[in-house]
Structure 1
Amino acid sequence: MREVVLDTETTGLDPLAGHRVVEIGCIELVNLVATGRSLQLYLNPEMPMPAGAQEVHGLSDEFLADKPLFADKVDELLEFLGDAQLVIHNAQFDLGFLNAEFARVGKPKLANDYVDTVSLARRKFPGQRASLDALCDRFGVDNTKRAKHGALLDSELLAEVYLELSGGRQRDLGLAPEMAAAGLTGLVDQSRPIRPPRPHAASPAELAAHIEFLKKISDPLWLKVDA
């Protein structure tokens, strides 16, 4: 199953008030395995960056001034997403902004299925905090590089959190060789040793001891025949 973990950074909180997307980060998973494919887009929002938003993600007017417009990158984004199921933390926020951007360039809304990891976390841990930082703390995911929000970094962190929410490391989310070569090593615990398979068959000595034990049992049930 192909999934894309997705996050955005924006100029504010409300696309209906004219706020825009300034960064999109995507990580591709296939059967919960990171494939090494990712997409990061910085976008010129065509509006000044509010101070409060810049404080969150650190993206300034100067940095974004020479970046492409959403219209210039929309086809690249849609090609990467394809028909994958999307994995998004607080999905209505990101989808609201993306669909507003699609509307501006005459594209239809996203029709992809999606998983909202906030809702998933609240079902699994009712009454507990469900922020990305809180879930990183819960699952021991290293988020020390997250001094500010960043769409690609947050997607990497969310991919590992999503693994844990989906059943944990026994589901075997490993790094594909391409992912390791790209240096994106945060999605798997490289220090965890691989445990060799444990033998379960009885040894000859154990079998002999079992036979001797059975000889000591008088009137065993397994020899009785129903009348």
Structure 2
Amino acid sequence: MNLATWPALLVVDVEGNGTNPPDLVEVAALPIRDGRPDKGSAGWWLTRPNRPITPFATRVHGWTNDAVADKPAWAEVAEKVRAFLGDTWICAHNAHTDYRVLGAHLPGWEPAGVLDTLRLARHTFPDLGKYSLDKLIEHMKPDLSEAPGVRHRATFDAFATAQLLTAMASRYDTWDQLVAAAVPPGLPGAPEPERDPTLW
């Protein structure tokens, strides 16, 4: 597949404060250009959540309440994030989560489509068994030497997801085949089910 012919696509990752529903703490959006992640034009936002970051969330991503105490509230950056995301395609690992959280924080926002590397990996490697980001990194060994930050930070995870996406996409001949394998039913961009021509 010629990845350079893809529509505009952002690989996104979000980190929350650990509450349910979560407040956003960190958002990364990494463009794919000519089949490669483009760090030079990536978007990144670190915000102070309305509710404190829980100890559990801190253990996962490392952000503490002290670290974000002087950061802007979500309301101060929301329109910048909305403008950056626009109506392009997005991709995330376990994309239902990122799509749902971003949608809750950006009312009215709707991407052109949503690729899910978790769904894509299950289709690409049906016998792998586990499909966490760590498991896929271990299995596919993408080049993460230029990944910003550390694992479980939004910038690192978006970069890793982008590398996994492009590597798996090379196994498909067309964009439509990739979409059929990677877009979860019910999310934007999902192929319409074929109608039975005998029914009318």
Shorter-chain-normalised TM-score: which range? 0.7 to 0.9
| CA-atom RMSD in angstroms | 2.1
Match of 1:81 among 85, 102, 127: 85
Identity, % of aligned positions? 28
- Cα separation, partners in 2 of 1:80 and 1:109, compared to 1, 3 Å: closer
Tell me the equivalent position of 1:133.
134
Q: Distance in 2 between matches of 1:160 and 1:142?
A: 7
Give TM-score scaled by structure 1 length.
0.65
Tell me the equivalent position of 2:27.
24
Give TM-score scaled by structure 2 length.
0.74
Which has more radius of gyration? 1
Amino acid at match of 1:130: Y
CA contact 1:58–1:148 (8 Å) conserved in 2? no
Match of 2:169 among 166, 169, 191: 166
Q: Does 1:5 align with 2:23?
A: no
Question: What number of residue pairs does the alignment pair up?
Answer: 162
Residue-by-residue CA offset, 1:6-32 (whole Å, 9 max, x unaligned): 0000112632xxx21100011111342
How far is 1:4 from its partner? 0.2
How far is 1:98 from its partner? 1.2
Q: Distance in 1 between matches of 2:150 and 2:28?
A: 17
- Cα separation, partners in 2 of 1:109 and 1:13, compared to 1, 3 Å: farther
Task: Structure 1: give runs of 5+ residues left out of the alignment.
Answer: 169-227
Match of 1:61 among 58, 65, 72: 65
How far is 1:34 from its partner? 2.9
- Cα separation, partners in 2 of 1:13 and 1:93, compared to 1, 3 Å: farther
Residue-by-residue CA offset, 1:3-61 (whole Å, 9 max, x unaligned): 1000000112632xxx2110001111134233331011001102111111000001000
Question: 4+ residue runs of structure 1 moved beyond 6 angstroms?
Answer: none
Amino acid at match of 1:138: H
Task: Structure 2: give runs of 5+ residues left out of the alignment.
Answer: 1-6, 172-200
Q: Distance in 1 between matches of 2:111 and 2:141?
A: 33
How far is 1:136 from its partner? 1.1
Residue-by-residue CA offset, 1:71-126 (whole Å, 9 max, x unaligned): 11112112211221101111111111112212xxxx31424311011001011112
CA contact 1:10–1:20 (8 Å) conserved in 2? yes
